Amino acid sequence: MPPKETSSVIGQTRGPTARASSPEESSNGPRHLALLNELPVLFAHDAALGPLLQRITELLVETIPGATRGAMLLADRASGKLLLKAHVPTGEPDASLALAQRAMDRRQGFIWRQDEHESQNPSTSGYRVESAMYAPMLWRDETLGVVCAESQNTALDAEDLRLMVTVAHYAAMAAVQQRLQDDLRQNASLLNRMMANFSPKIRAQLLAKARNGRLRLGGEKSEIVVMLSDLRLFTRATMNMESEDVFDMLNDYLAAESEAVFKHDGTIDKFLGDGILAVFGSPEPDPARHEKAVAAALAMQDAMKLVNASRRANGQVTCEAGIGIHCGQALHGFVGSNELIEFTVIGDTVNLTQRLEAAASGGEIVISREMHQRVWETVDVEPITIETKHEGSLAAFRLRGVKDAPKAGGHGL
């Protein structure tokens, strides 16, 4: 035989201010009113959700005459499973999952009463329950959980149920507020991790987009500049080093190179072991991307020299970097999911940059013919030919520096 219920059922289609009956008009009015007045005070303290729900449950059981036990269950956002978030007495949780689910499915609060001939018992702790109340925690169209109270000796009544319905609304508001805070923290953490790959200038532009809701997954195809830097003979140099020393060495070099990239508005696509893949002109377009890439590469080699000087002074192992730069059409933008977003660049432009980087000896910068066509007026180069397995012979240029600025009154180059 199914458990019997009273006809005391209260829907929850209205907010906590909806008037079922005034607390002052009920026999328990002063106690109910005291609880309802205390709930906003609890919210004002900005307590963590767990202690807040526990305190609400304690106050509910204290306020309802005859209530001996209470619990608050929240649905897990991923699985939907009801999680026990608060209960009274401490250490003795008790609630009927069947009745809790009924309240959530029907979106109504109700009273369950034990008939004197009824053998079924909603208690999971073995206690005989005279009556119990269950009220869903609703927020807009979502059911977040359930609040329940039990009495072993007293029949709970409709006045108590009205109070519980209101308390359930407040508990839902607390849960939603915590959820929003968690989402904000998660999004902020994700945004901070993602922004670490960009220069301060580009970071500011992307944050402005994020604030306006215009930073989304996706990308575009356009002409960008790709730079690849790699440490020469790194494996051999670190073969006999302790792992901590190897990572310290990597951090020395990569930090210095990254700073040079950011200083010239570049974006770090990724770290490739002992190398860096950087992009100029993405994710924000930059008409000076070619010149900035050249300047960044020269700054990176200067930074490498400073790091090496410091490491030699301390008797530490040193390395040099080879750098390749190419420009061309590529797919670039943000990929991933709501939990993990990464910037990436895809296309043959990246592959050809790898060929250029492989042809650069330690301390050298090799640029493609396409790059040279765009910066020829300002750079000092040496023509070279690169032999590749798949592309054949490639015309390229070894970058020796930038030309001196023309003197005042002169024509220059």
Q: Is residue 220 part of a domain?
A: yes
Among 11-20, 72-81, 111-120, where is mean pLDDT lowest? Answer: 11-20
The sheet with strand 82-88 has its strands ordered as: 5-11, 108-113, 131-139, 142-151, 69-75, 82-88
Closest CA to 323 of 402, 226, 230: 230
Q: Are residues 105 and 224 in the same domain?
A: no
**pLDDT(169) > 80:** yes
Residue 312 confidence (pLDDT)? 94
Residue 258 clears pLDDT 80, i.e. is over it: yes
Residue 326 lies in a domain: yes
pTM higher than the cut 0.75: no
Report the helix count and the strand count for the chain, using DSSP H and E: 10, 14
* 112-125 residue pLDDT tens: 987 643 556 677 66
Tokens (6 digits) for 232 = 């020469």
Q: Which residue has the higher pLDDT, 200 or 215?
A: 200
β 365-368/320-336 pair status: parallel
For residue 368, is pLDDT > 50?
Answer: yes
Output 11 or 410, whichever has higher pLDDT: 11
Q: Find the mean pLDDT for residues 134-152.
A: 91
Q: Which of 10-24, 34-48, 226-240, 336-350 has the lowest mean pLDDT?
A: 10-24
345 and 214 within one domain: yes
Is the per-residue pLDDT at 103 higher than 80?
yes
Could you tell me if residue 204 is inside a domain? yes
What CATH number has the domain bearing residue 340?
Answer: 3.30.70.1230
**What tokens does 135 get?**
């009220």
At residue 217, the pLDDT reads 56
Residues 168 and 222 in one domain: no
Q: Are residues 98 and 51 in the same domain?
A: yes
Going 42 to 47 to 53 to 54, the CA torsion angle's sign is negative
Work out the pLDDT band at 280, boundaries 50, 70, 90.
very high
Q: How many domains does the chain have?
A: 2
Cβ atoms of 365 and 379 within 8 Å: the answer is no
The pLDDT-based confidence of 230 (bands split at 50, 70, 90) is very high
Place of tokens 């201010």: 17
Q: Which residues contact 18 (CB under 8 A, 6 or more apart)?
A: none
- The fraction of the chain above a pLDDT of 90, given in percent, is 38
263, part of any domain: yes
Contact 398, 384 (CB under 8 A): yes
Query: Domain range holding 366?
Result: 200-402
User: Does any domain span residue 322?
Assistant: yes
Residue 32 inside a domain? The answer is yes
Burial label for 237, CB within 10 Å (0-12, 13-18, 19+), is middle
In sequence order, what are the residues at sequence separation of 6 or more whose Cβ sits closer than 8 angstroms to the Cβ of residue 24? Answer: 30, 33
Calculate mean pLDDT across residues 6-35. Answer: 55
Q: Return the pLDDT at 294.
A: 96
Write the DSSP assignment of 185-232 as a string of letters. HHHHHHHHHHHTTB-HHHHHHHHHHHHTT---SEEEEEEEEEEEEEEE
Q: Could you give the CA distance from residue 283 to residue 291 in angstroms, rounded to a whole number?
A: 17
Whether residues 101 and 16 share a domain: the answer is yes
386 or 10, which is more confident? 386
Confidence of residue 17 (pLDDT cuts 50, 70, 90): very low
| pLDDT for residue 376 is more than 90 | yes
* Whether 224 and 181 share a structural domain: no
Residues 6+ apart with CB under 8 A from 202: 265, 267, 283, 284
What is the number of other CB atoms lying within 10 angstroms of the CB of residue 19? 7
Task: Identify the DSSP state of 114.
Answer: -
Helix (H, G, I), strand (E, B) or coil at 263: helix
How confident is the model over 294-327, as pLDDT tens digits? 999 999 999 999 999 999 999 999 999 999 999 9
Is residue 412 one of the residues assigned to a domain? no
pLDDT at 5: 45
Name which of 97-101, 197-201, 237-241 the model is least confident about.
197-201
Give yes or no: residues 38 and 165 share one domain.
yes
**Residue owning tokens 């990929």:** 335
Please check whether residues 178 and 219 belong to one and the same domain.
no
pLDDT, mean of residues 231-244: 87
How large a percentage of the chain has pLDDT more than 70?
A: 75
CATH code at position 29: 3.30.450.40
State which of 111-115, 181-185, 325-329 shows the largest mean pLDDT. Answer: 325-329
Instruction: Answer yes or no: is pLDDT of 218 > 60.
Output: no
Nearest to 319, CA basis, from 238, 239, 227? 238
What's the mean per-residue pLDDT of the chain?
81
